[in-house]
Amino acid sequence: MYKKIQLSKGDFNMAYNGFLPENVINIGKIYSIHYFEYMSDFSFEGESHDLWEFICVDKGEVEVTGGDKKFILHKGEIAFHEPNEFHNVTATGTIAPNLIVISFDLSVSNKSNLQLSSEKQLFALSNRILRIDQTERRLLALIIQEAKQSFDCRLDDPYLAAMPLKQTMPLGSGQLILLYLEEFLLHLLRRFEHAQSIGLDKKPASYKLKNTEEILDLITNYLKQHIHEQITLEQICHDNLIGRTQLQKLMKEQFNTGAINYFHQLKIETAKQQIRSGRLNFTQISTGLGYQSVQYFSRQFKNLTGMTPTEYSSSIKALAENSFPE
């Protein structure tokens, strides 16, 4: 026989113990988020300010001065500038560069502990050239994407003293920018810490890429190698031994678009770079990228950028001459 036990409502009250997460990086304010598409002869005379700033090369290469050091940053590399450090950037004259530049400060609340801890972590990243991985590249892309929806100004104007916010923007956009940036810095710090622990502290690269990243690298490198041709989805799948469904799923997850549309974006990005270099005319560029006519090239350029090649060229020249229209 079982004995019946009467339980009261209070017998089910449980005591839960929460925890307060440690803030390794705690950003205060973000002052600028830029995505620059410079001409191959661009030069910025330099500045210093009491903010942290990093420069990451998305395409091409640039010569960077940080304090008393001068070095070349290549595609996929990043360098940090400490507060009050003089820095400048100059295109090398060979490849028109695309750059991501973000400046920020650290939270001043509880300055004696939290800010000093954050600064200590960031100082570990300064005075060295680092290489970003696929995860960090994705986070930077998300920051730029949110910034385009949040700021009521161009992201490629280096002469802005302030970046005004739009009156209406997506819910939580500013918070997402902050979270993505902190995640980016934490991810970079964690990889750098691991690289130090095994004696490879110069470039904290991913030592063993995940299978998905290896496939994406294979596909993107293949598309870049065939940038001067017209290829089909079937050809991409056949040459890379990947199923159509798997390919489209990976591209959608990583780039939020299909393989062929991503290929078209690569072509237009290459065209923009060649326009900024100023060595080829539009007909030569369109032919070199495998377009059957300059008219079709111009239509696709405008579809993806919102400008014709001529309008883009004029915009870049205005930027170089510091004569943006209001």
For residue 209, the model assigns a pLDDT of 38
Residue 267 lies in a domain: yes
5 compared with 39, residue with greater pLDDT: 39
Same-domain pairing of 89 and 237 = no
Could you give the number of structural domains in the chain?
A: 2
**For residues 9-45, b (16+ Cβ closer than 10 Å) or e, as one string?**
eeeeeeeeeeeeeeeebbbeebbbbbbbbbbbebebe
Same-domain pairing of 51 and 186 = yes
CATH code for the domain of 276: 1.10.10.60
For residue 207, the model assigns a pLDDT of 34
Same-domain pairing of 45 and 163 = yes
* Arithmetic mean of pLDDT, 246-271: 91
Same-domain pairing of 103 and 179 = yes
**Which residue is it, tokens 């130090």?**
196
CATH code for the domain of 115: 2.60.120.280
The rounded percent of the chain whose pLDDT value lies above 70 is: 85
* Arithmetic mean of pLDDT, 119-144: 88
Same-domain pairing of 143 and 262 = no
Same-domain pairing of 188 and 218 = no
Same-domain pairing of 115 and 140 = yes
Residue 218 lies in a domain: yes
Cβ partners under 8 Å of residue 29, min gap 6: 104, 105
The domain boundary residue, chosen from 164, 197, 230: 197
| Pure H helices in the chain | 116-123, 134-150, 173-197, 211-225, 233-240, 244-255, 259-277, 282-288, 294-305, 309-320
- Using the predicted structure, report yes or no on whether residue 298 has a pLDDT greater than 50: yes
Same-domain pairing of 173 and 231 = no
**CB of 206 closer than 8 Å to CB of 133:** yes
Residue 20 lies in a domain: no
- Identify the DSSP state of 113: I
Residue 178 lies in a domain: yes
Q: Residue 220 sits in which domain range?
A: 211-320
Same-domain pairing of 111 and 254 = no
CA distance 269 to 266: 5
The domain boundary residue, chosen from 197, 225, 260: 197
Same-domain pairing of 147 and 33 = yes
The domain boundary residue, chosen from 163, 197, 231: 197
Q: Please write the tens of the pLDDT for every residue from 73-119.
A: 998 999 999 999 999 999 988 888 999 999 999 876 544 454 556 67
For residue 12, the model assigns a pLDDT of 61
Residue 236 lies in a domain: yes
Same-domain pairing of 65 and 134 = yes
Cβ partners under 8 Å of residue 198, min gap 6: none
CA distance 28 to 103: 11
- Using the predicted structure, report yes or no on whether residue 11 has a pLDDT greater than 70: no
Residue 55: band (very low, low, confident or very high) from pLDDT cuts 50, 70, 90: very high
Question: Phi and psi for 276 in degrees, rounded to 5?
Answer: -70, -30
96 compared with 287, residue with greater pLDDT: 287
Residue 171 lies in a domain: yes
CA distance 62 to 59: 10
Please write down the HEC assignment for all residues of 140-176.
Answer: HHHHHHHHHHHECCCCCCCCCCCCCECCCCCCCHHHH
Cβ partners under 8 Å of residue 270, min gap 6: 227, 289
Mean pLDDT of the chain: 84
- Using the predicted structure, report yes or no on whether residue 272 has a pLDDT greater than 70: yes
Residue 298 lies in a domain: yes
Same-domain pairing of 179 and 242 = no
Residue 122 lies in a domain: yes
Q: Please write the tens of the pLDDT for every residue from 190-240.
A: 888 766 554 444 443 333 334 677 788 889 889 999 999 999 999 998 888
* Cβ neighbourhood burial of 303 (10 Å; 0-12, 13-18, 19+): exposed
* Cβ neighbourhood burial of 266 (10 Å; 0-12, 13-18, 19+): middle
CA distance 42 to 32: 20
